[in-house]
Structure 1
Amino acid sequence: MSVEKKNIFLHDTNTSIPYVSRSTPVDKNYPQRENSKAHATFIEKKLNECYERSATQKQVAAIRYKEGVYLEFSSAAKHDLAIKSLENRTQGIRLLNVKSDEETGTIRATVYIPAGKESYFIKKIEAYSSEVTEKGIPKHNDLVRSIDDIRVAMLDSFWIGKPEDIPNEVAQWCEVWIRYDNLFLENALTNISECCRTLEIDIDHNKLIFPERIVHLIKANKSQLSNLISCCEYITEFRRAPEPTSFFDTLYGVEQQEWAEELLNRTEFMDSNSSICLLDTGLNNSHPLISPAIKNINTVQAVNDSWGTTDHMGHGTEMAGIALYHNLKDKLLDHNRLVINHKIESVKILPPKGENPIELYGAITEQAVALAEISNPSADRTLCMAVTSPYYNTEDGSPTSWSAAVDSITSGANENGEKRLFFISAGNVFPAELANNDYPDSSILHGVENPGQSWNAVTVGAIANDIQISDSSYKHFHPVADVGQLSPYSSTSVTWSNKWPIKPEILLDGGNMATNNSDYTECEDLSLLTTYHKHLVRPFSTTWGTSSATAQASWMAAQIYAEYPGIWPETVRALLVHSARWTQSMHRQFCKEDTKTKGRKLLLRTCGYGVPDLSKAIQCVDNSVNLIIQGELQPFTKKHMDEMHLHNIPWPKGVLQSLGETKAIIRATLSYFIEPGPGEVGWKDKYRYPSCSLRFDVINSNETLDDFKKRVNIKMRGDDRKDSGDGSSRDWYLGVGNRDVGSIHSDFCEDLAVNLCDANYVAVYPVIGWWRERSHLGKYNEKVRYALVLSIETPEVEVDLYTPIITKIETTQIIEITIPK
């Protein structure tokens, strides 16, 4: 599209300020023990019984037994467990996983105790029984009183997921998560390999490496998993390996070969550094509408050479048609010249039908991205993957090995910090599901699929745009959703825990379902036209669901890359989310009670931030201006917070004052990539999943700059740490309780234009993460990049916000945009 007024990239707006975070005391709900001596006696007895049982198991074991012991500590019902106190790295005592049992209200933690350290907890229990602190409280009070039971850890202690998914006597592919220290990585790998060989367990050669965790794929039955616990001292958890969904039932459309030829004759394929890489079923690179957009044959690849690169099922070629043309039907009907300003790449990650073994898909995804970058290293690449798995998924939105691998890829955690832009489909609700649950409950109950839990990737859901059915074979059918509503194919994160990211973040066209009020089905008239992999038979096919929506999102990102070469991936993501809006139909559907805790929360968890608008994301207009800041912040030192950034924003004060009481909207979006710290260890305290998090705030019209600094930064409060200034936060539409999850935060508030004159300071500040809490990993002095997008939008009145801003800053910052790598 033609861009008249480019987005404004600001430079030198930042002042770095030493930062101390506002403390938020968390009350621990530990049980009161009326008789500490009796409780100590009980817990010590349980602990000794565990040691005796472990010793007996070693004596009768037919295999070489590990040296230490695995124990499971349990809390009292509806009480907390002192998780941090269950680990002591210097003693070799390691916390392996933490699980909450919703039925019993208990928390269970699995702990490894090495040989020779059995007395560690016994000494603490004895001290609790016989010694008190200066305040008269028993020593180690929180730890010991929080423990309600101890047992030798069994297979269920290590199993993450539904108990019914544990393999029976038939071996199944499972993930085994093992712990490691940097100095003993090879020891852990050797140990798991030797144990698997002894137990005749198949182990896949692929592996995923995260901070303190390695994931391997093994094929084992229940007995073998139990024996693996007995002989391997590095186990932390088991999970069922995900199986990707099949998308490969082709939908038929009656199209003419001449359409493709006519479109091709009026299309110009530009040489561009912007590229979309499809991780899918391959690509038919001879399709006449696709081949001109392929840079060279080396950019069409497969993870396994024996699979071939061609599209054996059609899904990859269908994705390519959307990723290249966005709306192919409109392009066919429009007789104007068409310019394609990005390239298409493909890495096949699924083997041909009939040869579909369970894979460690996080490792497969890593390999696919590496292949794409080797073949075309300088591309501004958009990664697009519409392969997901609903099976053996986490139900609360917590990370999986696959989603964590995507977070590692996007953040460059294992590759010198090279950042990447990644789009993932949310996963589809299938028509049969609507027979049991009415729409839209069917979407509410179908959680976003693996690896859509990724914090850094943009997870894409679907909106319904088509309602016209003309095919006579659907004579008694009507569309399920109305125009602008959530597509019935789209999955959501409504059932997730509130602490996990908002998913999907954006919605794009995914088509609609048809129903006769008893049956539900796909329908060609309600689907998107795209390219067919057997183009000699016919050039076109149709597609639907979150796959087509993800391809459209990738197309939008490629346009932004083409317009702003070298722009950060974090910034592209921010612009798309920043441009997104909910339709009125979505508001009516999910926001019946317009409050932060109910309707707005439901709207956010079903529809994300809404439907992105490329024209809003890629350019400014007179009455709506995008200001972009790309910055880098050091959040921590070894034991403390380090800095926050305070940005001075050049809003046109005179113009806003002249508008007086005209309503205007200020919108802010903050985007950054976290490094993952996966593993089922409670994800709090030092076991947090993100390396660090960031937050934003905007100065309010009722506070001075000093008041604003005091409100967000305790360091600015001087001797009186309770002096938070005289102002207050703006009345944001979503609020911090909804937006401050994940690694992208977007919100807006409506106010009088005159009150936005003083919204000229924005703070970006850090939140604790494992970079600081796990200081032994040496990452506490790392820096995090971020993109901040700000805009003020006024109603459709004769107002020019753009020109006054231009006059405030150097022309080179606008026209010759320099984007630091």
Structure 2
Amino acid sequence: MVESIEAVHLAAVEALWTDSTPLPTDDESIWWEIWIRGEGEALVDTLKSAARVAGFSLSNERLYFPERTVVTANCTKRQISRSLRFVNSVAELRHAKVTAADFLDLSPRDQYQLTSDMLARVSMSDSPTAAACILDTGVTQGHPLLAPALKPSDCQSVREEWGSNDPHGHGTEMVGLSLYGNLVDVLATSGPIQLEHCLESVKIYNENDPNPPHLYGEVTIRGVQLAEQAAPHRHRAIGMAVTASDEEKGQPSTWSAAIDSLTSGYHDDKRRLLLISAGNTPDAHWHEHPSSCQSSSVQDPGQSWNALTVGASTQFASLPVERYPDWLLVASKGDVSPFSRTSSNWQRPWPLKPEIVVEGGNCAIDPVDGKGRTVDELSLLTTYRTPTVRAFSLSAMTSAATALAVRYAAILQARYPDFWPETIRALLVHSAEWTDAMKKHFLPLNTREQKEKLLRYCGYGNPDFTRACWSATNHLTLVAQDSFQPYKKEESTYKTKAINYHNLPWPTAVLRDLRGTLVKLRVTLSYFIEPNPARRGWKGRYRYASHALRFEVQTPTETKEEFKRRVNSAAREEEEDENQGYQGDAADWELGPQLRHLGSIHSDWWEGTAAELANRNMIAVYPVVGWWRERHHLGRWNKQARYSLVVTIQTPSEEVDIYTPVQIQISSKVSVEIPIDGD
């Protein structure tokens, strides 16, 4: 009898469900919108009593509409059904659109309860192999949400007298995001939480005792070294949102060069993955988006060639009208966030920055003065520096975006421990795509100039973490990690030495069967350069980088021998001044050789028929001039240059299996080094 009554009430929940999303399972906890017939606090009190009996509580917020009152609650379908036994005023049920404000408005006691419930779902490895390492204002190690992943020994400071704690709060906010992501997404679900990486914090900034500018590079290096000394065998994705107000407009600074030196392993041959925020636009100009983003240059040291510079985008595009009447969103959904700086006012040959944009929140225009204002509902939720006061805090802007990107990178390192830092950087860029909201500012995208404007506005777009992690049957990703010696000495002359050719094990039979079906090929080449930031006394204009690499792909009509002759010729042509005039194979490539070869990470994609792709089965990686060769007296001309190459093909139909045929072939050798003829 009891079971039959419960079934009736569960069926009643299904009848009241009007949301477009699927109804949750019986014991899945979500946030509900409960729409009550009528208006008045008495109706809410009746439902509150029923909820208490059923084992949940209502939030304090109320919305009033004609003949309707809306409240929210976090509970299961079964609990909702039990409450319906005592009330008959519920008109409909929906999945609540939860925001950071909903959790921040909770009492400290309710926040603590949510934290306890969440911790009961958390599990992680006893010996994680990867860490999200945040260089910032320190951290509150004792925060209950951070303690499972953050040992006291992994909390350090570049100056002992500062201590590793976080009176400012910014570091604790970043650390929380780098572990869980936006806590709204975690708290709004009830499933298990498997943590794949741990945390590290190094305090490099104290607003009451700031470092002198000439030490910024040294402080950054010291911070990384402290983390490495504490756990020398751990992989780490290092995140830093501390930037200087200087706008170098792409030119290397002492700080950015120090980061390039650190990441390239110039002194110790150890490569490192470092993610840096692009910096935030002035708040007085937020309402002028997107022009305010385009006029605000990426801040120092975000121009670093080797660091992955992170800007902010936003998917937050909903404001509660009753709380913000007549307010307008500044950025549309999917666009670059109003807070994000760009390299729109940089000139070639400086890199395209930021390379990716990640969620950093939005703002809204206050109707009183027409200025942009931060809004709780348009921010992310993270950990607060004083958990005895409250558990949660808001976060936004490029700091939040950088912390989320660090989380993605650390998870990739945990899942793929054999991947180099260059490879993790490549996977994040390789998975990124522009949204329509980003592209609309630069339409039509039919010239190189317009595409470069888009690239300098938002890099390669939003990374797709799922796509960065997995190959699917119709979405195949190949990764090659390789190295070669780019230069050689012949008598008294120093020249380009060799080209690496990678044979691609395409499922040729499958592709030819697809014939005219459109497919997409994407290639990303990632490597770290060694810097030489001197601005005077050089022969040639662009000798900051130790070396530069290029890639070319065999065209559908070329034989392998013809392709090798073309690449060989291209390499010879680029012997001097990085050959700004070389066009390569630009046919049907989105960016083309001239645009994709800025900086030290190069990504481009081609669309054509499956039959054409079947004949594109070789990629060449070759070097062009750099200071290793030009300043050969420094003794680094014979160094090895290593790189990561990521290649993806994608077909429109999930029914087409391109993965299995490649898996069968993948054990064969796919790379061979060929000397350059004519040297």
Query: TM-score normalised to the size of structure 2?
Result: 0.78
CA gap of 1:728–1:787, structure 2 versus 1, over 3 A, is closer
Counterpart position of 1:281: 137
Residue by residue, what CA displacement relative to the aligned partner does 1:298-331 show, whole Å, maximum 9, x if unpaired? Answer: 2100000001100120000000111000121010
CA gap of 1:684–1:759, structure 2 versus 1, over 3 A, is farther
**Given the alignment of the two structures, is residue 788 of structure 1 paired with residue 645 of structure 2, yes or no?**
yes
Q: SS of the counterpart of 1:268?
A: strand
Q: SS of the counterpart of 2:426?
A: helix
What is the CA-CA distance between 1:251 and the residue it aligns to?
Answer: 14
Residue by residue, what CA displacement relative to the aligned partner does 1:600-623 show, whole Å, maximum 9, x if unpaired? Answer: 111111110011111111110001
Give the number of equivalent residue pairs. Answer: 548
Q: SS of the counterpart of 1:360?
A: helix
Counterpart position of 1:408: 261
The CA RMSD over aligned residues, in Å, is: 2.1
What is the CA-CA distance between 1:475 and the residue it aligns to?
Answer: 3.2
Residue by residue, what CA displacement relative to the aligned partner does 1:416-470 show, whole Å, maximum 9, x if unpaired? Answer: x1000000000011321236xx210000000111100000000001111112223
Given that 1:685 and 1:773 are in contact with CA atoms closer than 8 Å, whether structure 2 keeps it comes out as no
Match of 2:289 among 439, 445, 452: 439
CA gap of 1:544–1:348, structure 2 versus 1, over 3 A, is same
Counterpart position of 2:559: 704
| CA–CA distance in structure 1, aligned partners of residues 511 and 517 of structure 2 | 9
What does 1:15-414 align with in structure 2 at a 5 Å threshold?
253-255=104-106, 256-271=111-126, 272-294=128-150, 296-353=151-208, 357-358=212-213, 360-391=215-246, 393-394=247-248, 396-414=249-267
| CA–CA distance in structure 2, aligned partners of residues 770 and 577 of structure 1 | 26
What does 1:738-817 align with in structure 2 at a 5 Å threshold?
738-810=595-667
Instruction: State the one-letter code of the partner of 2:500.
Output: H
What is the CA-CA distance between 1:798 and the residue it aligns to?
Answer: 1.3
| CA–CA distance in structure 2, aligned partners of residues 482 and 514 of structure 1 | 11
Moved more, 651-660 or 590-599: 590-599
What is the CA-CA distance between 1:686 and the residue it aligns to?
Answer: 7.9
Instruction: State the one-letter code of the partner of 1:627.
Output: L
Match of 1:458 among 289, 304, 308: 308
Counterpart position of 1:133: none
Residue by residue, what CA displacement relative to the aligned partner does 1:247-297 show, whole Å, maximum 9, x if unpaired? Answer: xxx999323221111111111122311101100000100000001101x32
Moved more, 513-522 or 351-360: 351-360
Q: SS of the counterpart of 1:640?
A: strand
Instruction: State the one-letter code of the partner of 1:465.
Output: Q
Residue by residue, what CA displacement relative to the aligned partner does 1:584-632 show, whole Å, maximum 9, x if unpaired? Answer: 21122x3312124232111111110011111111110001111000000
Q: SS of the counterpart of 2:117?
A: helix
Instruction: State the one-letter code of the partner of 1:664.
Output: V
| CA–CA distance in structure 2, aligned partners of residues 539 and 597 of structure 1 | 49
Moved more, 333-342 or 686-695: 686-695
Q: SS of the counterpart of 1:637?
A: strand
What is the CA-CA distance between 1:646 and the residue it aligns to?
Answer: 0.7
Counterpart position of 1:530: 382
Residue by residue, what CA displacement relative to the aligned partner does 1:742-801 show, whole Å, maximum 9, x if unpaired? Answer: 000000010001100011110000010000100110000001110000111111341000
Given that 2:250 and 2:303 are in contact with CA atoms closer than 8 Å, whether structure 1 keeps it comes out as yes
**Given the alignment of the two structures, is residue 611 of structure 1 paired with residue 462 of structure 2, yes or no?**
yes
What is the CA-CA distance between 1:354 and the residue it aligns to?
Answer: 5.4
Given that 1:591 and 1:599 are in contact with CA atoms closer than 8 Å, whether structure 2 keeps it comes out as yes
Instruction: State the one-letter code of the partner of 2:409.
Output: A
Q: SS of the counterpart of 1:598?
A: helix
Structure 1 residue runs without a partner (length 5+): 1-249, 718-726, 814-821
Counterpart position of 2:277: 425
CA gap of 1:361–1:442, structure 2 versus 1, over 3 A, is same
What is the CA-CA distance between 1:731 and the residue it aligns to?
Answer: 2.5
Counterpart position of 2:481: 630
Q: SS of the counterpart of 1:345?
A: strand
| CA–CA distance in structure 2, aligned partners of residues 697 and 715 of structure 1 | 10
Counterpart position of 1:54: none
Q: SS of the counterpart of 2:479?
A: strand
Moved more, 468-477 or 575-584: 468-477
| CA–CA distance in structure 2, aligned partners of residues 642 and 358 of structure 1 | 41
Q: SS of the counterpart of 1:547?
A: helix
What does 1:659-674 align with in structure 2 at a 5 Å threshold?
659-674=514-529
Counterpart position of 2:358: 508
Q: SS of the counterpart of 2:496?
A: coil
Identity of counterpart residues, as a percentage? Answer: 44
CA gap of 1:625–1:778, structure 2 versus 1, over 3 A, is same
CA gap of 1:332–1:252, structure 2 versus 1, over 3 A, is closer
Given that 2:166 and 2:172 are in contact with CA atoms closer than 8 Å, whether structure 1 keeps it comes out as yes
Q: SS of the counterpart of 1:285?
A: coil
Counterpart position of 1:49: none
| CA–CA distance in structure 2, aligned partners of residues 358 and 781 of structure 1 | 35
| CA–CA distance in structure 1, aligned partners of residues 308 and 141 of structure 2 | 27
Instruction: State the one-letter code of the partner of 2:407.
Output: W
Match of 2:533 among 656, 678, 684: 678
Instruction: State the one-letter code of the partner of 1:637.
Output: K
Counterpart position of 1:587: 439
What is the CA-CA distance between 1:679 and the residue it aligns to?
Answer: 1.7
Instruction: State the one-letter code of the partner of 2:270.
Output: E
Instruction: State the one-letter code of the partner of 1:608.
Output: G
| CA–CA distance in structure 2, aligned partners of residues 802 and 483 of structure 1 | 34
CA gap of 1:783–1:755, structure 2 versus 1, over 3 A, is same
Instruction: State the one-letter code of the partner of 1:467.
Output: A
Q: SS of the counterpart of 2:403?
A: helix
Instruction: State the one-letter code of the partner of 1:408.
Output: S
CA gap of 1:306–1:473, structure 2 versus 1, over 3 A, is farther
Q: SS of the counterpart of 2:217?
A: helix
Given that 2:485 and 2:497 are in contact with CA atoms closer than 8 Å, whether structure 1 keeps it comes out as yes
Given that 2:571 and 2:623 are in contact with CA atoms closer than 8 Å, whether structure 1 keeps it comes out as no
CA gap of 1:658–1:443, structure 2 versus 1, over 3 A, is same
Instruction: State the one-letter code of the partner of 1:440.
Output: P
What is the CA-CA distance between 1:559 and the residue it aligns to?
Answer: 1.2
CA gap of 1:811–1:653, structure 2 versus 1, over 3 A, is closer
Residue by residue, what CA displacement relative to the aligned partner does 1:701-741 show, whole Å, maximum 9, x if unpaired? Answer: 12111211111113999xxxxxxxxx955431011221111
Instruction: State the one-letter code of the partner of 1:466.
Output: F
What is the CA-CA distance between 1:478 and the residue it aligns to?
Answer: 2.1
| CA–CA distance in structure 2, aligned partners of residues 344 and 414 of structure 1 | 26
Given that 1:699 and 1:759 are in contact with CA atoms closer than 8 Å, whether structure 2 keeps it comes out as yes
| CA–CA distance in structure 2, aligned partners of residues 455 and 252 of structure 1 | 39
Residue by residue, what CA displacement relative to the aligned partner does 1:624-680 show, whole Å, maximum 9, x if unpaired? Answer: 111000000100013111111011110000000011100001100000000001122
| CA–CA distance in structure 1, aligned partners of residues 537 and 278 of structure 2 | 25
Match of 1:621 among 439, 450, 472: 472
| CA–CA distance in structure 1, aligned partners of residues 571 and 456 of structure 2 | 36
CA gap of 1:251–1:388, structure 2 versus 1, over 3 A, is farther
| CA–CA distance in structure 2, aligned partners of residues 741 and 700 of structure 1 | 22
What is the CA-CA distance between 1:414 and the residue it aligns to?
Answer: 1.2
